[in-house]
Structure 1
Amino acid sequence: MPLQFPQSSENLTPAERRLLEFIESHREEFLFMTIGQLSAALGVSEATISRFARHLGCQDFKQLKNLVLAQNHLEGPAGKLARTVLAEGEFDPRRYLMQQQACLQKTMEALDPAAFEEALEALLSARRIFIQAKSASAAMGQLLFFRLRRLGLPVELLPGSGTELLEGLVQAGEQDLVIFFGFSKVSAEGRMILRRAETVRYRTLCFTGRLHPPAGERADLNLYVYRGAEKEYHSMTAAAALVDTLVVAASQRLGADGAARLQELHRMKQQFGR
Structure 2
Amino acid sequence: MDDNNQDLMRTIQMKFPRLSKGQKLIAEYILKHYDKAAFMTAAKLGTSVGVSESTVVRFANELGFSGYPKLQKALHDLIKNKLTTVQRIELSNNLINQENALKGVLKADMENIRATLEKINHKDFEEIVNCIFEAKRIYIIGLRSSTVLAEFLGYYLNVMLDNVKIVKHGISDAIDQMINITDEDLVIGIGFPRYSARTIEALSYVQNKGTKVVAITDSLLSPLATRAEYTLIAQSNMASFVDSLVAPLSVINALIVAVGLREKEKISSTYKELEGIWEEYQVYSHKKEDL
TM-score (norm 1): 0.65
Asked if 1 retains the 8 angstrom alpha-carbon contact of 2:237 and 2:244, the reply is yes
CA drift of 1:203 comes to 1.1
Q: 1:23 maps to which residue?
A: none
Secondary structure at the aligned position of 2:145 is classed as helix
Kindly indicate whether residue 288 of structure 2 is the aligned counterpart of residue 262 of structure 1.
no
Kindly indicate whether residue 179 of structure 2 is the aligned counterpart of residue 184 of structure 1.
no
Kindly indicate whether residue 81 of structure 2 is the aligned counterpart of residue 80 of structure 1.
no
Asked if 2 retains the 8 angstrom alpha-carbon contact of 1:179 and 1:204, the reply is yes
**Count of residue pairs brought into register by the alignment:** 201
Kindly indicate whether residue 229 of structure 2 is the aligned counterpart of residue 224 of structure 1.
no
Alignment of 1:150-169 (within 5 A): 150-160=159-169, 163-169=172-178
CA drift of 1:193 comes to 2.6
Change (3 A) 1:260 1:80: same
Change (3 A) 1:215 1:144: closer
Paired residue type of 2:217? T
CA drift of 1:217 comes to 2.8
- Give the Cα–Cα distance (whole angstroms) in 2 for the partners of residues 186 and 81 of structure 1: 18
Q: 2:212 maps to which residue?
A: 203
| Alignment root-mean-square deviation, CA | 2.7
Identity, % of aligned positions: 19
Secondary structure at the aligned position of 2:162 is classed as coil
Asked if 2 retains the 8 angstrom alpha-carbon contact of 1:178 and 1:205, the reply is yes
- Which range moved further: 206-215 or 240-249? 206-215
Secondary structure at the aligned position of 2:274 is classed as helix
Asked if 2 retains the 8 angstrom alpha-carbon contact of 1:186 and 1:217, the reply is no
CA drift of 1:106 comes to 0.5
| Higher radius of gyration, 1 or 2 | 1
1:37-73 CA-partner distances (Å, limit 9, x unpaired): xxxxxxxxxxxxxxxxxxxxxxxxxxxxxxxxxxxxx
Alignment counterpart, residue 121 of structure 1, candidates 102, 109, 130: 130
Q: 1:98 maps to which residue?
A: 107
Q: 2:286 maps to which residue?
A: none
Paired residue type of 2:86? A
CA drift of 1:202 comes to 1.7
Gaps spanning 5+ residues in structure 1: where? 1-73
- Give the Cα–Cα distance (whole angstroms) in 1 for the partners of residues 172 and 276 of structure 2: 39
- Give the Cα–Cα distance (whole angstroms) in 2 for the partners of residues 263 and 178 of structure 1: 29
Q: 2:50 maps to which residue?
A: none
- Which range moved further: 220-229 or 88-97? 88-97
1:92-132 CA-partner distances (Å, limit 9, x unpaired): 30232011100000011101110101111111221111111
CA drift of 1:257 comes to 1.6
Change (3 A) 1:240 1:85: farther
Asked if 1 retains the 8 angstrom alpha-carbon contact of 2:116 and 2:233, the reply is yes
- Give the Cα–Cα distance (whole angstroms) in 2 for the partners of residues 126 and 85 of structure 1: 46
Gaps spanning 5+ residues in structure 2: where? 1-81, 284-291
Change (3 A) 1:263 1:213: same
Paired residue type of 1:134? L
Alignment counterpart, residue 151 of structure 2, candidates 136, 142, 147: 142
